Structure 1
Amino acid sequence: MECIVKFDVIHDHEVKALRGLVFVEDGKAPTTEQLEEMFKDMKYEVTADRGDSLRFMPTQSPAPFQHIRIKELDTGDKKFTEDRDLKGILSNLLPTSNRPI
């Protein structure tokens, strides 16, 4: 099954919206390794960010871009789209240390 990956390449002064294609098993999302391989085929040498599974950091230094951010995974059945507004609201509501609310 095909999975269309919509992502942004973040540069210093611009953002490029691009798409890629990954083949996955029915009902499954692409793995981190599959996404890294797709980016490698597109000449982006990256590795997944440990703190954020939707962000990929360049492995080369200096890199021509800051990072890559996945916006959407579309397999035709169900779509994953990150809700950045909701994520921002939740991060402001959650405590940043072990203090009671």
Structure 2
Amino acid sequence: MECIVHFEVVHRGTDDIAKLRGLVMTPDKEKPTVDDMLDMLRMMGYEVHIADEDALRFEPDRAGTDVEEIRIKKIDTGEEVYTPDMQLRAIAEQLMSKPNRSI
């Protein structure tokens, strides 16, 4: 199955953010894994590693590159769209981490 990955490349020292897309091929009905996205970025010439797996944020392997970070914004599988919502995740984690209290 073809998955279109929408991502942003944040360039170091500027306000420039490039909005790009890549293609990941997966077996039928499967979402791409972090390794699939890492391979896609490497095939596009970005030498990166995963910095935050939950937020799908990648950082360059070498210092001194013009890329500060790469953020996956949306994964389009053609059927359903998965968009990481970090604010919703933070709220859920905040609510789940509190001990049960009587009201």
Query: In the TM superposition, what is the alpha-carbon distance from 1:60 to its structure 2 partner?
Result: 1.4
Extract unaligned runs of 5+ from structure 2.
Answer: none
What does 1:15-94 correspond to in 2, within 5 Å?
15-50=17-52, 52-87=54-89, 89-90=91-92
Extract unaligned runs of 5+ from structure 1.
Answer: none
The alignment covers a number of residue pairs equal to 98
Tell me the distance in 2 between the aligned counterparts of 1:83 and 1:36. 20
Query: In the TM superposition, what is the alpha-carbon distance from 1:50 to its structure 2 partner?
Result: 4.5
2:19 match: secondary structure: strand
Query: Does the Cα contact within 8 Å between 2:55 and 2:86 map onto a contact in 1?
Result: no
Structure 1 runs (4+) deviating above 3 angstroms are 50-53, 87-95
TM-score (norm 2): 0.78
Which structure has the bigger radius of gyration? 2
Query: In the TM superposition, what is the alpha-carbon distance from 1:52 to its structure 2 partner?
Result: 3.4
Aligned to 2:7: 7
Query: In the TM superposition, what is the alpha-carbon distance from 1:88 to its structure 2 partner?
Result: 5.3
